[in-house]
Structure 1
């Protein structure tokens, strides 16, 4: 079995990947700033060399919309080169990072390019948004004291279960790199307005939803469906099933 590093291994996706890899018998090192065994700060690279020693595979799940993913990737790449044992860096990316000029997507695309140019073995998986991201986004907007609730007009999403993405990443976490693999999309495509209404109903909130037109190149790219992959709708769990499984309770 391989020695595998998982960055962001205490996070939503990373934690599921860690569980799956350990169940398969791998030695897994969980990298995060708060990890007991391998405390690593990707922002400055501290702790990376010790954590990387002897590892064959890195699953890179750590990410933040606040910026700095490209800096973190640079530290990870350099540490992998110094270790000399890493044969595959598995990176989770997002469908549409190359066509939607949204800040977070642009940085994710830059990380893809950095990995591909690194000379190391890499595997890149792009997926659509997770169900819980859609739920959290609507939740955040619902806290704004505006009636009705504004959601971007004409923007469609194809949410996928984070558990299914974790399954796929665990499959890809092998010593042999696979390059850019086939995208993963959720089973259904809906507008954010439709999903927002479903989520509000499931959580017992009686809020009308207003389709708000926006401006800008990123919004236009989302409206064109740059974030969708209808030909790779491999996900099984629908957003409605996600809502049922999480036992959505009425919230204030």
Structure 2
């Protein structure tokens, strides 16, 4: 069976990728800052990274940090993967990273470019936002009595386990370059997602939409972060909410 390293293997996405690959009988190494025996901070690099990659055939790169450092982490990972003779590097990116001028998206795009130019066999999958992320955002927005939303912004949330299954499938195949984007089953207004969240959690809030300004807002409002042609996800937002909140 294939030996696979999953970076960020204890995170929201990486742990599901790890579980799926192990269930299929593959040897999976989990790399994160605190997971022994491969506790490595990718941003720092170091000899621990070479140890973790020794004998690895495929890397699934799920580790990411919205506070920065993804490019440096990718540089260290790519260099170590070359030294180890890794044959396949699979990377999870975000739909619209080349169309939305948002700092974190630009960082993800920069990592894509590094991987494409690395000389390694690679596969890049872009996905829309996970259901979990949407709920985390709404949890924060719903703290005041009025839930304020950016006016006119759509979204297409996808189930994280479905993305994990797709990544595992890609990891077991040959390098495929940039594959089609993956999105949730429905393009929805953020207003409708917020109202579904309030119903599921039993919270009473006034919902108001606020127009914003700037290139980033316009890109989100225009749906540049969506993947309507890749609406292959099956789990709807309401189904996710029902599982999470028991509705």
TM-score range, shorter chain: over 0.9
Tell me, yes or no, if structure 1 residue 57 matches structure 2 residue 38.
no
Paired with 1:151 and 1:76, the residues of 2 have a C-alpha distance of 38
In structure 1, what is the equivalent of residue 228 of structure 2? Answer: 230
1:215 counterpart SS class? coil
In structure 1, what is the equivalent of residue 96 of structure 2? Answer: 96
Counterpart pick for 1:244 among 232, 238, 242:
242
Residue 176 of structure 1 deviates from its aligned partner by 2.0
In structure 2, what is the equivalent of residue 19 of structure 1? Answer: 19
Q: Which runs of 4+ in 1 moved over 4 A?
A: none
Q: What's the CA shift string for 1:148-194, capped at 9, x where partnerless?
A: 21111111000000010010001011262111011111100111111
Paired with 2:125 and 2:223, the residues of 1 have a C-alpha distance of 19
Q: What's the CA shift string for 1:66-92, capped at 9, x where partnerless?
A: 1111111111000001112x1110000
Query: CA-atom RMSD, angstroms?
Result: 1.1
Q: Pairwise mapping of residues 58-207 of structure 1 onto structure 2 (< 5 A)?
A: 58-84=59-85, 86-143=86-143, 145=144, 147-174=145-172, 176-207=174-205
Tell me, yes or no, if structure 1 residue 8 matches structure 2 residue 22.
no
1:109 counterpart SS class? helix
Paired with 1:162 and 1:191, the residues of 2 have a C-alpha distance of 20
- Provide structure 1 residue ranges, at least 5 long, that are not aligned to the other structure: none
**TM value normalised by structure 2:** 0.97
- Provide structure 2 residue ranges, at least 5 long, that are not aligned to the other structure: none
Paired with 2:174 and 2:239, the residues of 1 have a C-alpha distance of 35
**TM value normalised by structure 1:** 0.95
Paired with 1:218 and 1:72, the residues of 2 have a C-alpha distance of 25
Q: Is the 8 A contact 2:201 2:245 kept in 1?
A: no
Q: How many residues align?
A: 246
Paired with 2:155 and 2:203, the residues of 1 have a C-alpha distance of 22
